[in-house]
């Protein structure tokens, strides 16, 4: 879908590798040169000069080794991007997110905070791959072309909730192909229900022999924050949100093509705003205390079963786009600001490597740079 981006990415990795190799070569020269000076100074028995020279080269070597390691680690994390071909033109881009711990929810002092965001420490024991973007119209088209799938908004007679120029309203002709505003293949798919998302995921799993799912609410927030405890992944202010997300304040009347704002620290785009994203959890209060790999299966007592939606949308104000903000809806609801993002839990880092090797090979064969 984005061959140019892919080439830029490969170019960056190649550049980094060249720097690392060049740095290593330079280091070996330094060591050899240092050795010859050391020998010479020994000959002249200039002990203090010798000691200084040795110290200098020792420190330089440590600095260069550190720099090489740093560059290498950057190259390593960049390598953790995966692209899976869906057709000969369309690819699904994924980012590797390592397991870890984070503070889910928001502190009581956070501006715009709601009562259902109680702070807790969450541990995610496994790394996972997550969509670099929300699933796009182009990617959803690939699925529909293969399966002739009809979304829930297309199945009945009442249609979905599209944008009527003022607000979301239900009309028979509103569906993922006609949400009430202009879209291209690069826009996030919207007007999809949980069942629609699950149908896409089961097609993807058959196609790739993997185990894709919707992210859990905790995986989603961890991936969204990318290490940031601020209101948005990019900072605390509305201007920070403007850098990373499409919301009511900057989007106009509709979704926007994915990947046009800045990514977060994990390299993931459009988490805040653009479309809400379905999560696998049923909405309910967070359980008290710390949690490991939480995935809520039961609603609060007396509540209907509703699925969690995260990230908010083009239709909502900044507060709703905070990383901790939670929303929920009937899993069958079909709105022009609801979409989803894929997730694939990995058993180990090794699993990520096998994924990357295989899919890069597939990619080389199937996606020609000329396209």
Minimum distance of Ca ion from residue 213's CB (angstroms): 17
Nearer to Ca ion, 105 or 311 (CB): 311
Q: Is 215 in the site for Ca ion (CB under 5 A)?
A: no
302: alpha, beta or left, given left = phi > 0 and alpha = psi -120 to 50? left
The residue whose two tokens read 């209060």 is: 285
Q: Do residues 307 and 282 touch, judged by C-beta distance below 8 A?
A: yes
Q: Measured from the CB atom, is 139 or 270 closer to Ca ion?
A: 270
Task: Write down the residue that tokens 């605390």 correspond to.
Answer: 236
Residue with smaller CB distance to Ca ion, 179 or 311? 311
State the nearest-atom distance from the C-beta of 258 to Ca ion, in Å: 9
Residues in binding contact with Ca ion, number by CB under 5 A: 3
Residue placing its CB nearer to Ca ion in the complex, 154 or 270: 270
Distance CA 24, CA 34 (A): 15
Q: Least CB distance from residue 227 to Ca ion, whole Å? A: 18
Q: Of 54-62, 164-172, 236-244, 303-311, which segment contacts Ca ion by CB under 5 A?
A: 303-311
Give per-residue burial for 185-208: e unless 16+ CB within 10 Å, then b.
bbbbbbbbbbebbbbbbebbeebb
Could you tell me which stretch among 23-31, 62-70, 310-318, 362-370 binds Ca ion (CB under 5 A)?
A: 310-318
- Could you give the CA distance from residue 323 to residue 183 in angstroms, rounded to a whole number? 26
Minimum distance of Ca ion from residue 316's CB (angstroms):
11
The closest residue (CB) to Ca ion is: 311
Distance CA 182, CA 217 (A): 30
Binding segment toward Ca ion, per CB under 5 A, in 138-146, 172-180, 293-301, 306-314 = 306-314
Pairwise CA distance, residues 343 & 94, whole Å: 8
117 or 270: whose CB is closer to Ca ion?
270
Token pair 């993922």 is found at 176
Our separate counts of H helices and E strands in the chain read 8, 14
Q: Does 254 bind Ca ion (CB under 5 A)?
A: no
106/255 with CB nearer Ca ion: 255
Only one residue has tokens 């889910």, namely 104
Strand 276-282 relative to strand 338-339, pairing: parallel
CB of 236 to Ca ion, least distance (A): 19
CB of 311 to Ca ion, least distance (A): 3
Using alpha carbons only, what angle is made at residue 252 by residues 155 and 240, rounded to the nearest 5 degrees? 115
Q: Whose Cβ is closer to Ca ion: residue 270's or residue 281's? A: 270
CB 327 within 8 A of CB 310: yes
> Measured from the CB of residue 162, what is the shortest distance to Ca ion in angstroms?
18
Q: Taking CB under 5 A as the rule, does residue 311 contact Ca ion?
A: yes
Q: Which is nearer to Ca ion, 68 or 275 (CB)?
A: 275
Which among 146-154, 190-198, 304-312, 327-335 is the span making contact with Ca ion, rule CB under 5 A?
A: 304-312
Tell me how far apart the alpha carbons of residues 128 and 206 are, in angstroms, rounded to a whole number: 19
Strand partners, 100: 124
Near Ca ion in 258-287, by CB under 5 A? 270, 274
Minimal distance, residue 110 CB to Ca ion, in Å: 19
Q: Which residues bind Ca ion (CB under 5 A)?
A: 270, 274, 311
């Amino acid at each position: 879908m984005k061959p140019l981006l892919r080439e830029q990415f490969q170019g960056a990795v190649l550049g980094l590798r060249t720097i690392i190799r060049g740095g290593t070569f330079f280091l070996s020269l330094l060591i050899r040169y240092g050795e010859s000076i050391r020998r010479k100074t020994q000959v002249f028995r200039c002990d203090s000069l010798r000691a200084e020279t040795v110290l200098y080269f020792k420190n330089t070597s440590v600095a260069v080794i550190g720099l090489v390691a740093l560059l290498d680690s950057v190259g390593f994390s960049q390598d953790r991007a995966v692209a899976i071909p869906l057709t000969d033109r369309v690819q699904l881009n994924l980012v590797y997110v390592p397991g870890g711990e984070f503070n889910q929810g928001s502190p009581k002092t956070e501006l715009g905070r709601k009562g259902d965001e109680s702070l807790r420490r969450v541990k995610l024991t496994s790394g996972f791959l997550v969509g670099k973007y929300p699933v796009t119209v182009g990617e959803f088209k690939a699925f529909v072309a293969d399966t002739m799938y009809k979304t829930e908004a297309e199945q009945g007679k009442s249609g979905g909730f599209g944008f009527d120029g003022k607000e979301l309203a239900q009309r028979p002709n509103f569906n993922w192909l006609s949400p009430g505003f202009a879209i291209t293949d690069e826009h996030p798919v919207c007007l999809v229900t949980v069942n629609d998302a699950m149908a896409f995921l089961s097609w993807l799993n058959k196609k790739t022999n993997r185990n894709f799912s919707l992210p859990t609410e905790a995986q989603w927030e961890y991936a969204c924050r990318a290490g940031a405890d601020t209101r948005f992944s990019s900072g605390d202010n509305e201007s920070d949100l403007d850098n990373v997300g499409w919301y009511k304040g900057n989007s106009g009347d509709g979704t926007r093509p994915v990947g046009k704002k800045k990514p977060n620290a994990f390299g993931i785009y459009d988490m805040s705003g653009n479309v809400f994203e379905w999560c696998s959890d049923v909405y309910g209060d967070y359980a008290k205390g710390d949690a490991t790999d939480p995935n809520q299966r039961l609603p609060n007592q007396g509540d209907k079963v509703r699925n969690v939606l995260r990230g908010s949308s083009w239709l909502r104000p900044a507060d709703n786009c905070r990383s901790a903000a939670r929303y929920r809806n009937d899993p069958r609801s079909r709105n022009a600001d609801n979409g989803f993002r894929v997730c694939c839990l990995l058993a180990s880092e090794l699993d990520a490597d096998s994924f990357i090797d295989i899919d890069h090979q597939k990619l080389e064969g199937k996606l020609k740079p000329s396209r």
